[in-house]
Structure 1
Amino acid sequence: MAPVLLFVTASPASAHPTLLTTTPAAGYSVASTPSAITMVFDESVSVAPHGVRVEDGSGHAVATSNVGLEQGGRRVVVKTLGVLPAGRYVVQWEVTAQDGDVVAADFDFAVGTTAVELSGAESGSSAGFPLIALLRWLFVLSLIALLGGAVGERIVHRAAPAATRPRSLVRFSGAVGSLAAASLLLYVVVATGGFGRAGILLAVEAAVLAVPAVLGQRMRRGMVATTALVLIPVEALRNHLGSQHGVSGVLVVAIHLVALSVWLGALFHLLRVARANVGGVPVRRAFAAYSRLALALFVVVAVSGAVGAFMVVPSLGAITGTAYGRTLLAKVALVAAVVVLAWRARRRLLSATASSFTRVVRAEIVVLVVVLAASAALVSLPSPAPATADLGYPTPAVGPVIRLGGLAGQIAVGIAAGENRLEVRLHTPDGDTATNDAKPPVFHLAAKLSGRGEAVVLQPCGRGCFVGPVAWTTGLEHIELRVDATGWHGGIVSFPIRWAPQLSRDALLRVRKVMLAQKAFRVVESITSDTSGPTPAAQSVTIDGPEFIDSDPYAGPPDPDVVVEPRPGGHQLLTFGLPAEGIHVELEVDASYRIVRETLADPNHLATRTFKYAR
């Protein structure tokens, strides 16, 4: 009996009744208030009338009925007695097992806080992407014309005061910018059904730009520049960096926008002045003064752009593996072209005719305008970096799902690969990712498709939850996850994904039937709680079928969907998960459904077992 006790106590999932399923599904969102909260265990349990407590995100108790038991004590039910507002809820439960042990744990779900729908590898971008990018481009051009034009006019006033001035663009720029901001605001309201943070910022931008649109030339140069400088931090708040990195992100974007606006806007204004003075007052001194300023502006643009790219793009793989990264590379190449043109323009300023000089300047302006188009596209594309705020709990995946699990160092990793999406659940051994009163660890997660070399953009969707779009290719590929968490050892774990999966609803029933009939057999088992350390020595135990089945979390129905993959020699690989407990199981069975190998991962351990049967 001692070997049996050793096996049972070593099993990470056998020390308490296993929570097989919950309604609502643990860690997911439902659209409206559930009429009841149910839990199904793998064995009969007893529970006190108030043994289940539901709390909202602030820790306040939610009104529920007394606990009821169904299905011979395996199903625990409490009814909700009111409407649950949108938000996160924690279900704390305490049951008594058949052997008298008291087991307490919790799970969470959400109401009405679903994540965005995911439909493809780049589906985070808006369906109206070309229109949005165009409107953002027009808006930024208006800022450049206002701020850069004011700076350019100051340069002309000092270096060539007698030069003829071209027609003012203040009214036109204000009108275009205000119309672009108002159009973006309308798009946000229609798409989301409300204003939100982005809508408020756009409303401010449209209102501020309406001032130069109305006043036009009556605004002094300082007032025009002040208007643009007021708008730039507002626009920075709408940028990826501003929304993801707070004050530091806003500061980087604001500095970048100011430098870029003066660089392009002042140059454009000087070119218009030169055109208005062909054959008249020379403006070469104004261009010379600008060229000295342009060098400093380029340094600021380059440094702030590099810092911003480092903050937004999480890895080198995301540069070539996402539309955002590829657009960023195109922008860098265009800026390099601008530098070459600026260098040629300065040389011609010193030695050539005015006509050849202005041709190079016009080319520089054209390329800078294209740079702005790339910038507008970057703001409209989904960022590769995870957002700082959760998207909200995801709805359960629709269609077939591949559930796999493992350990990355000390951190338990569970994945659910569904149609066009990847969901990752992370747990630390102390369980802080699920409780309402514990401070959860800060997770860092990077994912890539190792075969394609593409980064996968994952965003938070709850405590220890990350979700993102992935367009799986038919056949076998691997998803590689690099995981870290404050206070715990992390690591790298890779999972094979063979799409599309084949599901079986009776595979576990067959396994149980065959294993229950087995006489004594030997199990060689290795259990670890940290894959970053040495592999623990394997232990060998002899056990019979009924004792083994009773010790594992799939001892009885209801059975989850099982993914079946053929293996050589008539073997099959069965994989499934029990999300409510954070358990993932991989079974290799022979042609008769006897288990040959088992890998079981839970939030605390990774157990690997091989089975030896008497011939």
Structure 2
Amino acid sequence: MMTTGRRVPAASWWRVLGPVVVAALIGVVLAWILRDTSGFPWVAVARVVADGAGATVIGLAALPRLNDRLDVAWRPLAALAGLWFVAEFTVLVCEAAEIVGVPVRRLSATDFTTFLGHLSGGQIGIAILFCTGAIACYSAMAFRRPDSASPDLVLVFAAVALSLRPITGHMSQQMFGSVLAALHALAAACWLGLLLAMALVVRSRGDWAATLPRYSAFAAPLVGVVALTGLINGLGHLDGLPALLTTGYGRILLAKSAVLCALIALGWWWRRSWVHRAADHRVTAESSLRNATIEVVVMAVALGLAATLAVTA
């Protein structure tokens, strides 16, 4: 595999990641306001960090499939996988505290161990921790020996980790619910993760010209899967259409749908004003980076809404 030979400075990464993190937290706060409950959903913060890190891991590992001149950025991938592991562990602690009915600070080691060993949510969490830990360790070793490393292993473990929690949620009680939930999570992660990885890694006009049109071709069906499975999953959780306005879950679902519609409109506009011009080398790398950052920031708001929706009854 060829490489661009250019290492992106950490400061450039934070120019992208900073706004994305802020936007995701804004999405959580907005969902909390719409949910209209007294307690702030701290578990949603941990979950949005986990989902965002997981999506970025998938994007960084899959990026060379869009442009074979790009190598996998193993060092940041290992760091993000480590963050993913920590966030998933935090989600587990919060879920255990909720099951026991105590604040997180009062959760005992005995209750947490019982949750992990005897309840399905805890056992699923252990499997997720194994997958994310394996990705972090493998990526750390791959950084030292990149020539013998394969991103395919990362993609497999990441896909399993992202699918495990959705398939055990409320949709698992409906016919094909688990499949739809897993497809929704994976499609959303690929849609966000690939574009975020491009914003983090791609820095030349030529690489944008080679990578962006291929991403755009993948993004269209991914958006369709996200929209369709999200609609089915959301309506399956509601007790009638009036619940869209009378319940916190319904209001968050409406907000998430509105952001998704905005993203679809933005994607349509980008295809007309950005993608084709970038493919013809008529857009600067700085402009492409700015456009990609704008879109992933809006996606991050939807991610924050989705993370809170997932922990809302």
Bin the TM-score by the shorter chain: 0.7 to 0.9
Report Cα offsets for 1:238-287 as digits up to 9, x if no partner. Answer: 43323x32x62111110111111111111111222323x36xx4431210
Q: 1:117-196, aligned counterparts within 5 Å?
A: 127=39, 129-157=40-68, 161=69, 163=70, 168-191=75-98, 192=100, 193=111, 194-195=114-115, 196=119
After TM superposition, give the deviation of residue 154 of structure 1 in Å.
1.2
Residue number in structure 1 paired with 2:274: 348
Residue number in structure 2 paired with 1:573: none
Matched, 1:381 2:306: no
Matched, 1:250 2:173: no
User: Could you tell me how far apart the structure 2 residues matched to 1:212 and 1:126 are?
Assistant: 37
Q: Which structure 1 residue ranges, 5 or more long, are not aligned?
A: 1-121, 383-615
Residue number in structure 1 paired with 2:300: 369
After TM superposition, give the deviation of residue 131 of structure 1 in Å.
1.1
After TM superposition, give the deviation of residue 134 of structure 1 in Å.
0.5
User: Could you tell me how far apart the structure 1 residues matched to 2:312 and 2:252 are?
Assistant: 9
User: Could you tell me how far apart the structure 2 residues matched to 1:337 and 1:319 are?
Assistant: 19
Matched, 1:319 2:247: no
Report Cα offsets for 1:180-211 as digits up to 9, x if no partner. Answer: 12112222333414412212211221222111
User: Could you tell me how far apart the structure 2 residues matched to 1:370 and 1:297 are?
Assistant: 18
- Letter in structure 2 aligned against 1:187: C
Instruction: State which of 123, 126, 130 in structure 2 corresponds to 1:200.
Output: 123
Assess, with a 3 A threshold, how the Cα gap between structure 1 residues 238 and 135 changes in structure 2: closer, same or farther.
farther
Between the two structures, name the one with larger relative contact order (CA 8 Å, sep ≥ 6).
2
After TM superposition, give the deviation of residue 177 of structure 1 in Å.
1.4
Report the secondary structure of 1:316's partner residue.
Answer: coil
Residue identity over aligned pairs, in percent, reads 24
- How many residues align? The count is 250
Assess, with a 3 A threshold, how the Cα gap between structure 1 residues 379 and 357 changes in structure 2: closer, same or farther.
same
- Letter in structure 1 aligned against 2:123: I
Aligned alpha-carbon RMSD (Å): 2.3
Report the secondary structure of 2:176's partner residue.
Answer: helix
Normalised to the residue count of structure 1, the TM-score between the two structures is 0.38
User: Could you tell me how far apart the structure 2 residues matched to 1:350 and 1:215 are?
Assistant: 37
Q: 1:459-608, aligned counterparts within 5 Å?
A: none
User: Could you tell me how far apart the structure 2 residues matched to 1:376 and 1:356 are?
Assistant: 30
Matched, 1:270 2:198: yes
Residue number in structure 2 paired with 1:260: 188
- Letter in structure 2 aligned against 1:215: Y
Q: Is the 8 A contact 1:259 1:300 kept in 2?
A: yes
Q: Which structure 2 residue ranges, 5 or more long, are not aligned?
A: 1-34, 101-110, 143-148
Q: Is the 8 A contact 1:259 1:297 kept in 2?
A: yes
User: Could you tell me how far apart the structure 2 residues matched to 1:147 and 1:256 are?
Assistant: 15
- Letter in structure 1 aligned against 2:304: A
Report the secondary structure of 1:283's partner residue.
Answer: helix
Report Cα offsets for 1:306-344 as digits up to 9, x if no partner. Answer: 111221122111100011111111101111111122222
Q: Is the 8 A contact 1:338 1:367 kept in 2?
A: yes
- Letter in structure 2 aligned against 1:206: L
After TM superposition, give the deviation of residue 377 of structure 1 in Å.
0.5
After TM superposition, give the deviation of residue 214 of structure 1 in Å.
1.9
User: Could you tell me how far apart the structure 2 residues matched to 1:282 and 1:360 are?
Assistant: 15
Instruction: State which of 138, 146, 163 in structure 2 corresponds to 1:233.
Output: 163
- Letter in structure 2 aligned against 1:136: R
Residue number in structure 2 paired with 1:301: 226
Residue number in structure 1 paired with 2:257: 332
After TM superposition, give the deviation of residue 168 of structure 1 in Å.
4.2
Q: Is the 8 A contact 2:74 2:139 kept in 1?
A: no
Residue number in structure 2 paired with 1:215: 138
After TM superposition, give the deviation of residue 167 of structure 1 in Å.
6.0
Higher helix share: 2
Higher strand share: 1
User: Could you tell me how far apart the structure 2 residues matched to 1:335 and 1:372 are?
Assistant: 10
